Amino acid sequence: MQKRALITGITGQDGSYLAEFLLNKGYEVYGLVRRTSTTKLERISHIQDQIRLVSGDILDARSLQHVLELAQPDEVYNLAAQSFVPESWTQPILTGEVTALGVTRLLDAIHMVNPKIRFYQASTSEMFGKVRETPQNELTPFYPRSPYGVAKVYGHWITVNYRESYGLYACSGILFNHESPRRGLEFVTRKVTNAVARIEAGLQTELRLGNLDARRDWGYAPDYVEAMWLMLQQEEPDDYVIATGQTHSVYEWVVTAFNLAGLDWERYVVIDPKYVRPAEVELLVGDAGKAERQLGWKPTVHFQDLIQIMLEADRKMVHEEIV
Ligand code: NDP
Ligand code: GDR
């Protein structure tokens, strides 16, 4: 029988790749979308006739119950979040409502409507926060450094708690940063590749950035959505770290991207304190050994190739803008 999946956050980077992935696996795909006065479906417009979008909001418990009753999914992927870390200092309450309590609303709706539904929670390496050990694995203690990270720690533990309290098949994927041409323009990776493409085309003359010393473990989003799916296909629910195991600084990302275009980064990059965070996550590098052993998952795209993929896509976008 054809499986059904519900994705919250389907209009986001990961939601769009996951929807494509599940369609390719033969799933019937439902997506929760919130009502807005303008449409923001650019990441899923190419598959819109193959998926079913249902109006609702992770802030509204009634709408979650409704979408579960309507879609009758076998699997629910909770990707909805206020996911931009700096915004979590300017909107801490909203971030908590969406990114933390939103998880409880959805888990509770699942518990009420159909406890057999398999549930995936989008947890994050931001939960590790302040460096306590490297590489970080499933047993590394959490020490979040932003209201976003704190909210995600809540989302992680409420997922574990519903699994242990009610026997739900609920998994938490602790995903390290993953990027793609569909990454939002405010995130540093895409901000840089987009700026390089625009500088090359003569559309931009400077790039303002914050802390270049922070180190991240950057992977490729399409690889990571496969891991989400694999987690829900096991005999027992569990939590997994998903990462490449390599760490690079923001500085290295900047230099590599500018070098790929034959540009001298120092001519364009300006450090702007506006982009420096009240508290920083200095060093992330993940150990995805458990996912490799138990899920058979491995990343396929690494640092330099990832930057190349994103730069090429931004060049194409800029070119289409100009002509
Ligand atoms: P995006 O910011 O691209 O997407 C977030 C999604 O959440 C959007 O579809 C957005 O909808 C939706 N959303 C926001 N608020 C609500 C709400 N109140 N009700 C319903 N939907 C809402 O994030 P990514 O795709 O990058 O990430 C997906 C998930 O994975 C997030 O939970 C993120 O925190 C987490 N994560 C991401 C990592 C990464 O490196 N990308 C790493 C680890 C975890 P709209 O389009 O309407 O704004
Ligand atoms: P992050 O991603 O906070 O790791 O969260 P982001 O790309 O925003 O920042 C990465 C690092 O770059 C530094 N930085 C800048 N960041 C931004 N956005 N803009 C700048 O101008 C800039 N200059 C330097 C930051 O200080 C930081 O150290 C992402 C999100 O997708 C989360 O939702 C997810 O949980 C984590 O990845 C894993």
ipTM of the complex, rounded to two decimals: 0.99
pLDDT at residue 258, rounded to an integer: 98
Helix%, strand%, coil% for the chain, nearest 5 = 45, 15, 40
pLDDT at residue 75, rounded to an integer: 99
Any idea what the CATH number is for the domain that residue 231 is in?
3.40.50.720
Is 295 a domain residue? no
Low-confidence ranges of the chain (pLDDT < 50): none
143 and 210 part of one domain: no
75 and 87 part of one domain: yes
Ligand 1 centroid to Cα of residue 314, in Å, is: 21
75 and 170 part of one domain: yes
Assess whether the previous peptide bond of 135 is cis (omega < 30° from 0): yes
Domain count, the chain: 2
List active site positions: 124, 126, 148
Distance separating alpha carbons of residues 312 and 140, to the nearest angstrom: 36
201 and 314 part of one domain: yes
pLDDT at residue 39, rounded to an integer: 82
123 CB within 6 A, ligand 2: no
92 and 136 part of one domain: yes
Tens digits of residue pLDDT in 20-67: 999 999 999 999 999 998 888 999 999 999 999 999 999 999 999 999
Tell me the residue range of the domain where 146 lies: 4-178+221-242
Q: Whose CA is nearest to atom 10 of ligand 1?
A: 9
User: Any residues with Cβ below 6 Å from ligand 1, and which?
Assistant: 8-9, 11-15, 32, 34, 40, 57-59, 79-83, 98, 122, 124, 175, 177-178, 184
pLDDT at residue 93, rounded to an integer: 98
pLDDT at residue 118, rounded to an integer: 99
- Whole-model pTM: value is 0.98
Instruction: Look at residues 296, 294, 311 and name the one whose alpha carbon lies nearest to residue 189.
Output: 311
Is 308 a domain residue? yes
Length of the chain: 323
250 and 238 part of one domain: no
Is 28 a domain residue? yes
92 and 163 part of one domain: yes
196 and 99 part of one domain: no
105 and 254 part of one domain: no
